[in-house]
Amino acid sequence: MGTDTSGYRGRFAPSPSGPLHEGSLLAAMASYLDARAHHGKWLLRIEDIDTPRVVEGADAFIMQQLQALGMHWDEPPVWQSQRIPLYEDAFARLQVGGYVYGCACTRRTLGNDPYPGTCRQGLPEGRQARSWRLRVPEGVEHFVDRLQGPQSQNVAHEVGDFILRRADGLWAYQFVVVVDDGLQGITHIVRGADLLASTARQRLLARLLGYKPPDVMHVPLLCDAQGRKLSKQNHAPAFDLARPVQTLQRAWKTLGFELFPAENIETFWQRALPMWAACQHGDSQ
Ligand code: GLU
């Protein structure tokens, strides 16, 4: 649809730990509509870096679900598990800049965030690095979320030096997501509101790596009857692929739009797209 004159590059970045459910579909739908409304590109990135959580075949199933709902990506998908050398390169650049240090702390000896900086000035005698952390610069990170409004976070104080490479040797989500968004030239991120709290970290890391932080929009999460976020861990069921139009309509309504009749998925997207675009213009600043 349309030519890419806008320079907009968006993405959907599911973790293949199970099929998409009605909650993750909201992020897929919103990111897809936003890319199309901007005449931009919509990329698919399979975030399979956290290998213990990867479920075999979930990536193929997610791709089938997206296709069945008429969400087609514009470039070949990428798998994080195949991009390890790129993460090593980016990590080396941060190391050269003096932004990385080894940490010997174990989760048992630490509470939750913020990290108190125990290993910042060097490892305790006789201890070896288990994980690698970013030396977070002082300062407050300000940004405007297109849906949630102005945000600010003092990452050094509220989160502390966060992990880039985990004690099990795996690259941390916060790090690889920034490297990938940077290398793929992503200009706009549309995703679930659970990641709003990660955005300040990702923005400052992007700048340290020389990337312009993308614009962000965080869409609402779906919760179950107990008020828990729908997730694969809570065994949220995959949505109904036998009735794709109804599935799309339910997600559309949850995103806050009025329902309209659609005979098939093509007519659904044809009508949804201008409505999404109009709504974005309505609240643009
Ligand atoms: N892979 C993450 C997830 O499925 C999303 C990452 C992102 O959109 O930044 O929750």
Residue 137 alpha carbon to ligand 1 centre in Å: 25
Whose CA is closest to 163, among 220, 102, 213, 116?
Answer: 102
Residue 177 alpha carbon to ligand 1 centre in Å: 8
Separation of CA 63 from chain center: 17
- Confidence band, pLDDT 50/70/90 cuts, at residue 113: confident
E-strand stretches of the chain: 9-12, 41-46, 78-79, 100-103, 131-134, 141-145, 149-153, 163-165, 188-192, 215-219
pLDDT at 109: 74
Grouping H, G, I as helix, E, B as strand and the rest as coil, residue 251 is helix
Sheet holding 131-134, edge to edge: 100-103, 131-134, 163-165
Q: How far is 133 from 111, CA to CA, in rounded Å? A: 16
Residue 139 alpha carbon to ligand 1 centre in Å: 26
pLDDT digits (tens, 9 = 90+) for 228-271: 777 766 667 777 789 999 999 999 999 999 999 999 999 999 99
User: In the chain, what's the furthest Cα-to-Cα distance?
Assistant: 69
Residue 133 alpha carbon to ligand 1 centre in Å: 21
pLDDT higher than 70, residue 2: no
pLDDT digits (tens, 9 = 90+) for 158-174: 999 999 999 999 999 99
Ligand 1 pocket residues where CB is under 6 Å: 13-15, 47, 177, 191, 195
Q: Tell me if 189 sits within 8 A of 145, measured CB to CB.
A: no
Mean pLDDT of 17-22: 92
pLDDT digits (tens, 9 = 90+) for 44-71: 999 999 999 999 999 999 999 999 999 9
Rg (CA), the chain: 20
pLDDT at 1: 44
Q: Which atom of ligand 1 is nearest to the CA of 202?
A: 9
pLDDT higher than 70, residue 5: no
The residue written with tokens 């109009």 in the block is 278
For CA atoms 87, 110, 153, 136, the dihedral sign is negative
pLDDT higher than 70, residue 284: no
Q: Which atom of ligand 1 is nearest to the CA of 24?
A: 4
pTM, full prediction: 0.93
Percent of the chain with pLDDT over 70: 94
Mean pLDDT of 85-112: 92
Mean pLDDT of 131-154: 97
Q: How far is 195 from 61, CA to CA, in rounded Å? A: 24
Domains with residue ranges and CATH for the chain: 9-270 (3.40.50.620)
Angle (CA) 155-157-162 rounded to 5° is 55
pLDDT higher than 60, residue 227: yes
Burial status of residue 117 (CB atoms within 10 A of its CB: 0-12, 13-18, 19 or more):
middle
pLDDT at 102: 98
